[in-house]
Amino acid sequence: MSALRVYGMSSSGNCYKVRLLLEQLARPYDWIEIDTRSGVTRSSEYLARNPNGRVPLLELAAGEYLAESDAILFYLAEGTQFWPEDRRQRAEVLQWMFFEQYSHEPYIAVARFISAFLPSQDARRAELPRLQQRGNDALAVMEQHLRQRSYLVAEDYSIADIALYAYTHVAADGGFDLARYPAIQTWLARIESQPRFVRMPPPPPPP
Ligand SMILES: N[C@@H](CCC(=O)N[C@@H](CS)C(=O)NCC(=O)O)C(=O)O
């Protein structure tokens, strides 16, 4: 196996993070498209690759796998401009990536999944008001931080920005109003003007 191989769903923000960084690093990779709604990530064949049954999954070499989007970003970014040299700044990048996984993604990505990927009558819609409240809390934290800054850490574009861009830029899919967050909107546009930026495709039609 020569190139890296990514198992991912193109319209998933967690998978898009990996694609965006690989594109910006100009690294060759093969993309294996997985529709998580088909249940394939819970098949015994897939669980042998990732016992947690989720995408994205990076195959580093034949049979060697790395899961968790932000761990994959770290693995790919080390030694590049996307991962700072300064110790304190590296810790701040991790701080924002942990924030993304605990305080942002579980609300903003899940609200998007329920609204845009599940059928309109799905009972999980009842979760939306709570998810939107918590997601707005996370967006308010980012808005306050970005009012005085160009990027999340040290005025430089890093994997912290990629991790948080992924679901923030499509927050409207989950019912969030980004017009309330002007500094976030400016930051999103700044990321979109980065060299080799690629867009995430829209969600597939609900089943
Ligand atoms: N913390 C994980 C979350 C991964 C995750 O939730 N992936 C979803 C798609 S965005 C998935 O594979 N869902 C399929 C399933 O749960 O069966 C990461 O950042 O990679």
CA atoms within 13 A on the CB side of 179: 2
pLDDT on residue 37: 87
pLDDT on residue 2: 59
Cα distance between residue 207 and residue 65, in whole Å: 30
What's the pLDDT tens digit per position in 103-159? Answer: 999 999 999 999 999 999 999 999 999 999 999 999 999 999 999 999 999 999 999
* pLDDT > 90: percent of the chain: 95
- The pTM for the full model equals 0.97
Quick one: which of 153, 154, 149, 160 has its CA closest to 186?
A: 149
Is residue 69 within 6 Å of ligand 1 at its C-beta? yes
C-alpha 162 to ligand 1 mean position (Å): 17
What's the pLDDT tens digit per position in 72-108? Answer: 999 999 999 999 999 999 999 999 999 999 999 999 9
pLDDT on residue 204: 82
Nearest CA to ligand 1 atom 6: 54
Nearest CA to ligand 1 atom 11: 54
pLDDT on residue 75: 98
Lowest mean pLDDT among 8-12, 34-38, 71-75, 192-196: 34-38
Cα 77 to chain centroid distance, Å, stands at 15
Mean pLDDT across the chain: 96
C-alpha 147 to ligand 1 mean position (Å): 31
Quick one: which of 29, 26, 16 has its CA closest to 56?
A: 16
User: Does the pLDDT at position 1 exceed 80?
Assistant: no
Is residue 68 within 6 Å of ligand 1 at its C-beta? yes
Asked whether 13 and 202 are in contact (CB, 8 A), the reply is no
Is residue 56 within 6 Å of ligand 1 at its C-beta? yes
Mean pLDDT of the region 10-35: 97
Asked whether 73 and 14 are in contact (CB, 8 A), the reply is no
Q: Residue 56, by phi and psi: left (phi above 0), alpha (psi -120 to 50) or beta?
A: beta
Structure tokens at 55: 């995408």
Quick one: which of 130, 135, 138 has its CA closest to 109?
A: 135
Mapping DSSP onto H, E and C, the string for 191-203 reads HHCCCCCCCCCCC
Is residue 12 within 6 Å of ligand 1 at its C-beta? yes
Cα distance between residue 72 and residue 18, in whole Å: 7
Quick one: which of 158, 168, 159 has its CA closest to 200?
A: 168
Is residue 14 within 6 Å of ligand 1 at its C-beta? yes
pLDDT on residue 21: 98
pLDDT on residue 205: 77
Mean pLDDT of the region 58-85: 97
Quick one: which of 191, 28, 207, 89 has its CA closest to 199?
A: 191
Structure tokens at 192: 């979109």
